Amino acid sequence: MGEHEASGPLWSGRLEGGLHPDVLALSQSLDVDQRLLPYDIAASKAHARMLGRQGIIPAEDVVAIVQALDSVVVDAEATDEDVHSLIERQLVAQLGETGRRVHAGRSRNDQVATAFRLWCRAHAFALIQGTADLQAILVKRAHVDGAAVLPAFTHLQRAQPVPLAHHLAAHVWSLQRDVGRFQAALDAADVSPLGAGALAGSSLPLDPVGVAADLGMASSFTNSLDAVSDRDFAVDLLYACTLCLVHCSRMGEELVLWTSQEFGWAALADDVATGSSMMPQKKNPDVAELARGRAGTAIGRLTGLLATLKGLPLTYNRDLQEDKKGVFEQVDATLGVLRLLSLAYQGMTVEAAKMRAAAADGTTVATDVAEGLVRGGVPFRDAHTEVASRIAAGERFDSPTPEEAIAARTGPGMPGVVADQLAELDRLIATTRALTAPSL
Ligand code: ARG
């Protein structure tokens, strides 16, 4: 080996020879964790700058290391154990002895936790914005088509009339809670573990608080053992994605129903619908079904990470390497589904007449008829019995109309005052849109 080449794995020295190729194949994580590259490079730069500030390495070495880090790429011949090994190998190949200085006071344990946190922070922000995009499209539909009246369901049976705006707004509120959960996951990730070393820090005069500030992170760790073993931030992000996907799944299911011939309440734009390879007449809502399907896999990933964590003794254990794949896939799936639904709702045609016909079947205002009797002094239970038996006898009510029934519901959060809700949602979405992205 030339003097500028790394001499085997980062941990060589204690162990003789290299890894058995089968062990390397099973244990390597480069194919997954190469997505951490820009984040690990940023953290490595911050670490090197700190080593320079603290007089642990010469200032000119800091300049060389920071510059060399900019040219690190996942090269075609990479067979490294992980992205951290790849970065150090290339630094040493470029800089020789200087490259070998960067790992002072650092372990892959605090390194991977830092890079993964930075990845989660950036992607939590992307999820917040992706959620806001879908919310904005739903609210826009509510402004445009919201006056259409449909029967809302319980038990999937016609229950009471509501304006479409109220129905769409219900989905937007569930997404608003997702925004809050993504923000909480972002905050959980926004703590720098760098300086915790392998688990108990370092005897070198490190400056973890300075590193956190350099990375634009909200704070630095408070316990070195916790810093390298904590994956709560990953679970938080997985959970936030999972629940968001569960919400998207419910919207998908609704689109499947609404676009069916049996309902006929909506039609998807052609560019989001699919056909059948055999049945020429088909126009299928695959996008909505995929939104529904992705949630199932998502629940599995969340369960998987929790199961990985549950038996781990402090601190770092290699099991933790399993944490990234599921999170990466979950975030990809969530961003993808948010976008898919945004497109589906954007191009959707609302069949207002069909919705209204269902709402105006003469039964959905039965509660209102009973409440009319209550206003005349009849006890509600008696009014309920009377209206129920009239319905059973075949009577249908044309008064109040669905529109009148809606207009009579004017308490906070009720369908008769949906304009207030839309204004509030517009305001909340604008607030989300105005959030500033993390520095990295
Ligand atoms: N690839 C490893 C992971 O993702 C990096 C940390 C390795 N640390 C160790 N002590 N082997 O967890």
Q: Say how far apart CA 90 and CA 68 lie, in whole Å.
A: 8
Closest by CA to 32, choosing from 81, 103, 87, is 81
Give the model's confidence band at 4: pLDDT under 50 very low, under 70 low, under 90 confident, else very high.
very low
pLDDT, tens digit, 9 for 90 and up, residues 285-306: 999 999 999 999 999 999 999 9
Q: Is pLDDT of 6 > 60?
A: no
- How many Å lie between the centroid of ligand 1 and the Cα of residue 316? 8
Among 35, 87, 321, the mutation site with the greatest number of ligand 1 atoms within 8 A of its Cβ is 321
The amino acid at residue 61 is: D
Task: Please report, rounded to a whole number, the percentage of residues in the chain having pLDDT higher than 90.
Answer: 94
Q: Say how far apart CA 361 and CA 81 lie, in whole Å.
A: 66
pLDDT, tens digit, 9 for 90 and up, residues 133-144: 999 999 999 999
Q: Which residue matches tokens 């945004």? A: 342
**According to the model, what pLDDT value does residue 17 have?**
83
Atom 11 of ligand 1, nearest CA residue = 318
**According to the model, what pLDDT value does residue 2 have?**
40
Give the model's confidence band at 177: pLDDT under 50 very low, under 70 low, under 90 confident, else very high.
very high
The response to whether residue 82 sits with its C-beta less than 6 Å from ligand 1 reads: yes
Is 155 tagged catalytic? yes
The response to whether residue 28 sits with its C-beta less than 6 Å from ligand 1 reads: no
Point out the ligand 1 atom lying closest to the alpha carbon of residue 320.
Answer: 12
User: Domains of the chain by range and CATH?
Assistant: 22-104 (1.10.275.10), 109-199+218-357 (1.20.200.10), 360-431 (no CATH)
358 is written with which tokens? Answer: 């269902």
**According to the model, what pLDDT value does residue 336 have?**
98
- How many Å lie between the centroid of ligand 1 and the Cα of residue 321? 6
The mean pLDDT value of the chain amounts to 96
Task: Please report, rounded to a whole number, the percentage of residues in the chain having pLDDT higher than 70.
Answer: 98
Among 318, 319, 323, 327, the mutation site with the greatest number of ligand 1 atoms within 8 A of its Cβ is 318
Is 276 tagged catalytic? yes
Q: Is pLDDT of 384 > 60?
A: yes
Among 28, 112, 228, 309, the mutation site with the greatest number of ligand 1 atoms within 8 A of its Cβ is 112
**According to the model, what pLDDT value does residue 77 have?**
79
Give the pLDDT mean for 190-216.
Answer: 98
Cβ neighbours around 199 below 10 Å, total:
17
**According to the model, what pLDDT value does residue 1 have?**
38
pLDDT, tens digit, 9 for 90 and up, residues 341-378: 999 999 999 999 999 999 999 999 999 999 999 999 99
**According to the model, what pLDDT value does residue 7 have?**
59
Give the pLDDT mean for 233-238.
Answer: 98
**According to the model, what pLDDT value does residue 19 have?**
85
HEC assignment per residue over the chain = CCCCCCCCCCCCCCCCCCCCHHHHHHHCCHHHHHHHHHHHHHHHHHHHHHHHHCCCCCHHHHHHHHHHHCCCCCCCCCCCCCHHHHHHHHHHHHHHHHHHHCCCCCCHHHHHHHHHHHHHHHHHHHHHHHHHHHHHHHHHHHHHHCCCEEEEEECCEEEEEEEHHHHHHHHHHHHHHHHHHHHHHHHHHCEECCCCCCCCCCCCCCCHHHHHHHCCCCEECCCHHHHHHCCHHHHHHHHHHHHHHHHHHHHHHHHHHHCCCCCCCEECCHHHCECCCCCCCCCECHHHHHHHHHHHHHHHHHHHHHHHHCCCCCCCCHHHHHHHHHHHHHHHHHHHHHHHHHHHHHHCEECHHHHHHHHCCCCCCHHHHHHHHHHCCCCHHHHHHHHHHHHHCCCCCCCCCHHHHHHCCCCCCCHHHHHHHHHHHHHHHHHHHCCCCCCC
The response to whether residue 320 sits with its C-beta less than 6 Å from ligand 1 reads: yes
Atom 12 of ligand 1, nearest CA residue = 321
Give the model's confidence band at 418: pLDDT under 50 very low, under 70 low, under 90 confident, else very high.
very high
Q: What does each C-alpha distance from 67 to 44, 49, 143, 213, 256 come to in angstroms? A: 11, 12, 52, 20, 53
User: Which residues, 6 or more positions from 366, have their beta carbon under 8 angstroms from its beta carbon?
Assistant: 387, 388, 391, 397
**According to the model, what pLDDT value does residue 3 have?**
42
The catalytically annotated residue of 7, 155, 203, 277 is 155
- How many Å lie between the centroid of ligand 1 and the Cα of residue 318? 6
